[in-house]
């Protein structure tokens, strides 16, 4: 994947964003409770399942192109105030760059917040791609080498 500068996309998103206070605090309490009461892998699997269930509650129409899929995802993410996704394709994989994801509530553990959001998004994106005709054997995984401010997910066979 070529290195993209998502700064402009992020800045535009934040300029248009509605500030809704309170929900991050509730979600942070839930994330902390889930991740502290289970080992890391069990907590991540549970949050991924919740993301998958969320995607099933908010199905996308069949998209004829990646551009249509990206537009539908961004419309839905906009309803949740969850940022923006950009999709890039190569012959071997799709890369989903999630930009301007919700910030952790002030005073909370940012790494825990990010880990929980990543798990939820892995489940949601995986379910949406599966519903678009993806294969259950193809996995979607977060790339830990993601640069600051962008969560990179790779959808590729054999991950």
Break the chain into its structural domains and give their ranges.
Answer: 21-157
Q: How far is CA 139 from CA 100, 122, 126, 150, 153, in A?
A: 23, 9, 7, 20, 10
DSSP symbol at 4: P
pLDDT of residue 20: 58
**79, burial (CB in 10 Å: exposed 0-12, middle 13-18, buried 19+):** exposed
pLDDT < 70: residue spans in the chain: 1-4, 8, 10-24, 145-147, 159
pTM over 0.85: no
pLDDT at res. 18: 59
Q: Which residues pair with 97 in a beta bridge?
A: 86, 152
pLDDT at residue 149 in the model: 79
pLDDT at residue 2, as a whole number: 45
Decide which of 3.30.70.2590, 2.40.50.140, 3.20.20.70, 3.40.30.10 is the CATH code for 21-157: 3.30.70.2590
Report the pLDDT value the prediction gives residue 31, as an integer from 0 to 100: 81
Neighbour-count burial of 92, counting CB atoms closer than 10 A to its CB (0-12 exposed, 13-18 middle, 19+ buried): exposed
């Amino acid at each position: 994947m070529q290195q993209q500068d998502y700064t402009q996309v992020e800045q535009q998103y934040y300029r248009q964003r509605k500030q809704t206070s309170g929900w991050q605090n509730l979600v942070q309490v839930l994330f902390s409770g889930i991740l502290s009461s289970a080992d890391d892998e069990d907590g991540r699997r549970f949050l991924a399942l919740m993301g998958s269930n969320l995607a099933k509650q908010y199905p996308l129409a069949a998209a004829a192109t990646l551009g249509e899929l990206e537009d539908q995802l961004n419309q839905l993410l906009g309803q949740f105030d969850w940022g923006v996704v950009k999709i890039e394709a190569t012959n071997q994989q799709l890369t989903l760059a999630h930009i301007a994801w919700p910030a952790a509530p002030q005073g909370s553990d940012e790494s825990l917040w990010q880990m929980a959001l990543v798990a939820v998004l892995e489940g949601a994106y995986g379910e949406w791609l599966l519903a678009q005709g993806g294969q259950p054997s193809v996995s979607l995984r977060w790339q830990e080498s993601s640069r600051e401010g962008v969560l990179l997910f790779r959808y590729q066979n054999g991950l």
